[in-house]
Amino acid sequence: METYNSEKLVKYEMDNQEIVVGFATYSDADNYAAQNSGTLVEVAFKDGNDNPQLTTEAGLISRKMHFFVEAGSEYKFIHSSEPEFRDFADQLQERKSDLEDDSPEEKYIANAEIEISEDPIIVLKNNQFESVTSRERSKYLKQAMVYEIGVSKTLKS
């Protein structure tokens, strides 16, 4: 595994292929594939750690999605790129400032903790807020199956 600092992309080698994941959007992955003579693939992380597997289970390519988490019917993971994320982040910020009894100035000057955390994901359990996590950490939570769009290139022998 190799992490690209400037782009936050991660490279894996498996089955005589180089697989790159960590794209911020589906179109970023598509552009990367075109520029690097690669092919779009779907990668799953299913075993509670960082061991990727090629799959088509989540249908990311056909749905033009870059990231999806499945953790059973009671859990929902909302990635920062999804429209719902902004609504939940705003609600959480309001709740937090109410609990902390912030002054009016503090309430209206956005506390960007959720937005500035690295690739944030809101976790809901039974449609209720449970936690905020990162894309990377979601691989290790609640037996989650994490799916990411990737780009595959054949390694030269």
Residues 91-137: pLDDT tens digits? 776 666 556 655 554 444 444 444 445 678 888 889 888 888 888 88
Query: Quick one: average pLDDT of 17-22?
Result: 93
Backbone φ and ψ of 41, nearest 5°: -140, 165
CA 85 to chain centroid:
12
List, for residues 61-79, the tens digit of each pLDDT value: 999 999 999 988 888 888 8
Report yes or no on whether pTM surpasses 0.85.
no
3-class DSSP state for residue 130?
Answer: strand
Q: Evaluate whether 42 touches 57 at the Cβ level (below 8 Å).
A: yes
Place of tokens 């903790």: 113
Residue 37 has pLDDT above 90, yes or no: yes
Q: Tell me, what's the pLDDT at 7?
A: 60
